[in-house]
Amino acid sequence: MKNIIFFLGKGGVGKTTSSVSMAYYLAEKEKSVYLASVDPAHNICDIVSEKPFTGCKNIYKKLYAEEIDVEGYLKDFTHQTTKRMKETYKYLQIINLDKMLDVMKYSPGMEEYAIMYALKEKIENNQDKDYIVIDTPPTGLMLKIFALPFTSKMWIEKLILWRRKIISARSAIANINPKAIDEELALEEEDDKVLKELGIQSKTINFMVNMLQDVKKTKTAIVLNQDLLSFNESKRIKEGLKFMGIPLNAVILNKKGMLDGTVDINEYFNDMPVFEVAFFKNGLLKKEDMIKACKSWVGGLIDE
């Protein structure tokens, strides 16, 4: 795999069109491409003139597209997580605290976690492709998803440290008085179910952190229009990516000329390439038009 490319921006600025345009462009160059959307408002099918489909589908040459079922991933994620947690914390059933796990799906942040795990799985499963192109949700949700691996990494590292201290203390107590420790409780790290679960989570989190910060493989592009709301959201994205150490490679000013915007895009984004795509009255509906438009900015994201 050469690159993973994320298209970010406010809703309605043209992220999906840009994502599809790049996917078509790469496929036309005989590259194998996996195009995925994690935006709940899926519209890849509309742009590529396909009837709604589930799963991954070959839509053109070596281009495969998928509108990831976020709701399905959320249900599966909460089900599998609850199942593993109940198995790990069997002893909670004694005091009926296991019922707390059944309300996990209503907890804040579960949708973001589900999308993060979906991305991890899809990226891992498509590493045989030359390129992976990701169409993302609007700014707020996507920045939360990007931030999750970094905040989770800090928490999990602390939890692993404290869990090891608990096991060590438990083992020391057992050496003094074996009857003081319940026989179901692990005395060695390799036998502790909680530590094993934390290890599973750690692998996923580290995969995402390393992938997002890989300047050689991960590329991001902000898509915006020439209006104040779009510009302000784009500033938030740039600042958020910088804080997380995720590279920002290009800015695509889409629908240039549609609005009489007074925002000076180039002044704020003067440290990176800014590409302009003219406004098409009838939209970029044809594959040929999308490929042509992509030619004007694709050099900011890949080395050909």
What residue spans define the domains of the chain?
Answer: 3-68+113-300
The answer to whether 126 and 35 are in contact (CB under 8 A) is no
CA separation for the pair 77, 58 (Å, rounded): 26
pTM: 0.89
Q: In the chain, how many H helices and how many E strands?
A: 9, 8
Q: What letters, b where the CB count within 10 A reaches 16 and e where it falls short, cover 241-278?
A: beebebbbbbbbbbbbeeeebebebeeebeeeebbbbe
Parallel, antiparallel, or unpaired for β 57-60 and 63-67?
antiparallel
**Res 101: pLDDT:** 54
| Listed residue (68, 67, 64) closest to 130, CA to CA | 64
The answer to whether 16 and 134 are in contact (CB under 8 A) is no
Neighbours of 203 (CB within 10 A): 11
CA separation for the pair 103, 116 (Å, rounded): 20
Question: Residue ranges of the chain with pLDDT lower than 70?
Answer: 89-108, 259-262, 281-285
**Res 303: pLDDT:** 85
CA separation for the pair 151, 162 (Å, rounded): 17
CATH number belonging to domain 3-68+113-300: 3.40.50.300
